[in-house]
Amino acid sequence: MITMKYIFEEISKHKRVLIVANIVAILSTLLTIPVPLLIPMLIDEIILGKGGNITHTIDQYITIGSPEYYILVVLLVTLFLKAISLILNLLHIRLFTKISKEVTYVIRKKLLNHLQTVSMSEYDMLGSGAVSAKVITDVDTVDKFVASSVGEIVVELLTLVSIATVILYLNWQIALVILLLNPLVMSFYLHVFRKVAKIKKKENKSIEIFQNSLTESLELYNQIRVQNREEYFLNDIDSKAKEIRDRGYQFGFRSEMALEFSRMLIMYSHDIFRAMGILMVLLGLLTIGKMLAIFAYAWIIMRPVDKLMNFMHLYFNAKTSIERLNEIFLLHLEPKYQEKVDPFKDRETASIRIENLSFSYNAKIDILKNINLEIKAGEKVAIIGQTGSGKSTLAHILIGLYPVTSGNIYYNNYEIREIGYKKIRENVGFVLQSPLMFNNTIRFNLTLGKEYDDKNIYEILKIAQLYEFVKGLENQLDTIVGKNGTKLSGGQKQRLSIARVLLDNPKIIIFDESTSSLDNKTEDKLLEALDDYIKDKTTITIAHRRTSIEKADRVIDLDIINNIV
Ligand SMILES: Nc1ncnc2c1ncn2[C@@H]1O[C@H](COP(=O)(O)OP(=O)(O)OP(=O)(O)O)[C@@H](O)[C@H]1O
Ligand SMILES: [Mg+2]
C-alpha cells in the first residue's frame, strides 16, 4: 500500500542530498530577502538626505560621497546577489528534481512488482488500460506533489517567515495585517481544494475508462473491421472522451476558479498593504523608502503564498491518486510457496499424480470435480473431452496458474505447494491454446529475452517445422512479427509457440491444441520430429483431432474422469 507516510519515508531516504539541497535553498532564499530593501532605502538615505545604514556601510570601505556612486554600488550588489541566488536556485532545483524523480520511480517499481505477483484470476478481470492509466496518470499526479513537497515547501515557508520578519522590522502594524490575512486566505483555499480534488478523482477515473476502452479496441481492431463495427466502437470511445472532456472541464474550471479567487484575495491584501503604507507615511510612522520596500515585499510575498496554495492543491490531488493506486495493491496475490524440494533435479522427467482435484472459477460452478489421474514418468498421455469441459483449465492448474479449490497435485510424489510455482514453471512447459505474440522479432518471441545461440534456435525451429520458413525470410530471426503476430499465419504462430516452449527444454510438456491449425502433412512431420525430442519426457497432449493423439501411450477422456453431475 502507498500512503503519505510511505512517500515521506521514501523522500527521507535521501537524507544527505535533502540536507544539502535545503541548505542551498535556504542560502539562496536568504540572499534574495534583503534585495528589495536596498534600492528603496537609498531614497531615504540619498534623496531625502536622512543618511543611514547603507551609505554608512559603503563609506566604511571607500568614501567618495557622491550619490551616483552609492546608487551604482547598491545596484551592483543587488545584481550580484540576484545572480548568486539564481545559481544556488538552479543547484537546488537539480538536487530536488533528482530526489522527486527517484521517489516516483520507486512508486512505479513497487506497483510493477506487485502486478508481477498478482494472481492469474485477478489478471482476467483487469483491464490493461485501467492499469496503465493508474501507472501513468496517477503516478504523475503523485510525482507533481512529491516534486512540490520536497522542492518548494521548506523554501517557501522560509521565504514567507523571512519576509514577514523584515516587514515586522519595517513596520509592525502592516506586518500584523500580513500575518493575519495570509492564513485566512490559505484556510479558504484549503476548504475549496478539498472539494475540487474529488472532481479530480472522477476525472482520473474517466481517463482510466477511456484508456481501457481505447486499448482494447486497438488490440481487437481486426475483429472490429471484420464485423464492420468501426463506427460503433469509435462512438463508444468518443463518448468516453466526452466524459473526460466534461470532467476535465469541471475540474479545470473549478480549480482555476478557486486559484483565481484566492489570487484575488491576495491581490486585495496587497492593495491593503499599499494603502496602509501610504497611511503610515502620512502619519509619519514610515519613511517613503521603507514604504516602497514594503510595496516590493508585499509583491514578492505573493509567490510563497501562491506556491503554498498550489502545494495544498497538489496534496489533495495526490491523496486521491494514492487511493486509486492502492486499488492495484488490493488485488490478490498469487500464493507464494517456499521451494522446499526439487523433484526435477537430476531427473530426465517426472511423474504426475492428481488426487481428488476440484476447481471452480467463481466458487459457484465446479469446472473440475474430484479428478484422479496418474501419469507415469515419461508417459505420453492425450487428453480429450468436449469443448468447454475443462481441459485447458486443468493444464493451467497443473502449472499453478490457478490455485486448486481442493485436492492435490504431485510431481514425482511431491505436492506442488512444496515445490513452488516458480520451479514448476521452470520444468513444466505449457504451449498455450491461443498463441500470443509480441510485436517484436521472431528471436524475441522465441526467447522472451533469454540468451540462446542461433544454432540452438534453428535446431528447435527444425523440429517445429519452421526452419525453412525463417531461413527464407529476409531478416530471418530478426523479422518483426507485427502486433500479436499479424504478419504470421495461424499455423506459423502455433509452431512458433511450440518452439518457444521447446527451446527451454522443459522436463514435462503440455500441448494444448498446439497443432490444431496445421495441415495433416505438416502436423505429421512435426510430431515425427518431436518424437525424438520428447522421448524421455512426460507429455500431455490436449487435442480434438484424432491424428494429433495417435502417438499417445494412453488417451484420457476428461468427460469420463470428471465427476460433474
Ligand atoms: N478465466 C476464466 N474465468 C471463468 N471461467 C472460465 C475461465 N476460463 C474458462 N472458463 C470456463 O471454464 C470452462 C472450461 O473451459 P476450458 O477452457 O478449460 O475448456 P476446454 O476443455 O479447454 O475447451 P476447448 O476444447 O474449447 O478448448 C468453460 O465453461 C469456460 O467457460
Ligand atoms: Mg481449451
pLDDT tens across the length of the chain (565 residues): 889 899 989 988 988 888 888 888 888 888 888 888 777 777 777 777 776 777 777 777 777 667 787 788 888 888 898 899 889 888 888 888 888 889 889 999 998 888 888 888 787 777 777 788 788 888 988 998 988 877 778 888 888 888 888 888 888 888 887 777 777 777 777 787 777 778 888 888 888 888 888 888 888 887 888 888 888 888 999 999 999 899 888 888 888 887 788 778 777 877 888 888 888 889 888 888 888 888 888 778 878 887 887 888 888 889 888 988 898 888 888 888 888 888 888 888 988 999 999 998 887 888 888 889 899 988 999 998 888 889 999 999 999 888 888 899 999 999 998 898 888 998 999 999 888 889 899 999 998 888 889 999 999 999 989 999 998 989 999 999 888 888 888 889 999 999 999 999 999 999 998 888 888 888 888 888 888 888 889 999 998 877 778 788 898 888 888 887 6
- Burial class, 317, CB count within 10 angstroms (exposed 0-12 / middle 13-18 / buried 19+): buried
pLDDT at 506: 92
Categorise residue 390: left if φ over 0, alpha if ψ from -120 to 50, beta otherwise: left
3-state secondary structure at position 382 = strand
What is the atom index within ligand 1 of the atom nearest the CA of 395? 18
**120 and 159 within one domain:** yes
The residues pairing with 555 across neighbouring beta strands, listed in sequence order, are 382
- Ligand number nearest CA of 390 is 1
Q: Cell 507464494: give the residue.
A: 336
CA 239 to chain centre: 26
**428 and 538 within one domain:** yes
**Residue nearest (by alpha carbon) to ligand 1 atom 26:** 387
C-alpha grid cell, residue 374: 496418474
Whether 342 is in a domain gets the answer no
Cβ atoms 437, 493 nearer than 8 A? yes
**368 and 308 within one domain:** no
267/256 Cα distance (integer angstroms): 16
Q: Among 389, 511, 541, which residue has the most ligand 1 atoms within 8 Å of its CB, making it the best to mutate?
A: 389
Pinpoint the alpha helices (H) of 220-301.
Answer: 221-226, 230-282, 288-300
Contacts of 85 (CB under 8 A, 6+ apart): 28, 29, 31, 32
pLDDT at 398: 92
Whether 65 is in a domain gets the answer yes
Categorise residue 65: left if φ over 0, alpha if ψ from -120 to 50, beta otherwise: left
**321 and 426 within one domain:** no
For residue 228, how far is its CA from the centre of ligand 1 (angstroms)? 28
Whether 204 is in a domain gets the answer yes
For residue 394, how far is its CA from the centre of ligand 2 (angstroms)? 9
**324 and 265 within one domain:** yes
- Ligand number nearest CA of 511 is 2
Whether 340 is in a domain gets the answer no
What is the atom index within ligand 1 of the atom nearest the CA of 393? 18
**286 and 214 within one domain:** yes
pLDDT at 451: 87
What is the atom index within ligand 1 of the atom nearest the CA of 433? 27
HSE (CB half, 13 Å, CA atoms) of 290?
A: 22
Q: How many domains does the chain have?
A: 2
**Residue nearest (by alpha carbon) to ligand 1 atom 22:** 392
**249 and 155 within one domain:** yes
For residue 153, how far is its CA from the centre of ligand 2 (angstroms)? 58
For residue 510, how far is its CA from the centre of ligand 2 (angstroms)? 12
Residue 225 is classified by DSSP as H
What is the atom index within ligand 1 of the atom nearest the CA of 390? 18
Q: What is the pTM of this model?
A: 0.75
What is the atom index within ligand 1 of the atom nearest the CA of 391? 21
For residue 387, how far is its CA from the centre of ligand 1 (angstroms)? 8
**Residue nearest (by alpha carbon) to ligand 1 atom 1:** 124
Query: Of 329, 344, 361, which residue sits at a domain end?
Result: 329
Whether 336 is in a domain gets the answer no
**379 and 324 within one domain:** no
Contacts of 111 (CB under 8 A, 6+ apart): 134, 135, 139, 325, 328, 329
Contacts of 105 (CB under 8 A, 6+ apart): none
Closest CA to 350 of 508, 551, 541: 508
143/211 Cα distance (integer angstroms): 20
Q: Cell 495526490: give the residue.
A: 318
Whether 317 is in a domain gets the answer yes
**Residue nearest (by alpha carbon) to ligand 1 atom 30:** 388
Q: Whole domain around residue 96: which residue ranges?
A: 4-329
**283 and 187 within one domain:** yes
Closest CA to 420 of 393, 399, 405, 450: 399
Whether 236 is in a domain gets the answer yes
Q: Among 124, 126, 383, 393, which residue has the most ligand 1 atoms within 8 Å of its CB, making it the best to mutate?
A: 393
Whether 338 is in a domain gets the answer no
For residue 491, how far is its CA from the centre of ligand 1 (angstroms)? 22
Task: Give the CATH number, domain containing residue 424.
Answer: 3.40.50.300
For residue 48, how far is its CA from the centre of ligand 2 (angstroms)? 95
238/236 Cα distance (integer angstroms): 5
For residue 390, how far is its CA from the centre of ligand 2 (angstroms)? 7
Task: Give the CATH number, domain containing residue 278.
Answer: 1.20.1560.10
**93 and 44 within one domain:** yes
395/213 Cα distance (integer angstroms): 30
pLDDT at 560: 86
Strand order in the sheet with 554-557: 428-431, 508-512, 538-542, 380-384, 554-557
The residues pairing with 353 across neighbouring beta strands, listed in sequence order, are 374, 410
Long-range CB contacts (within 8 A, 24+) of 43-47: 43/288, 43/289, 43/292, 44/287, 44/288, 44/289, 44/290, 45/70, 45/289, 46/70, 46/71
**378 and 322 within one domain:** no
Cβ < 6 Å from ligand 1: which residues?
124, 361, 367, 385, 387-393, 433
pLDDT at 338: 82
**379 and 315 within one domain:** no
435/432 Cα distance (integer angstroms): 6
402/197 Cα distance (integer angstroms): 39
Closest CA to 177 of 112, 262, 270, 101: 270
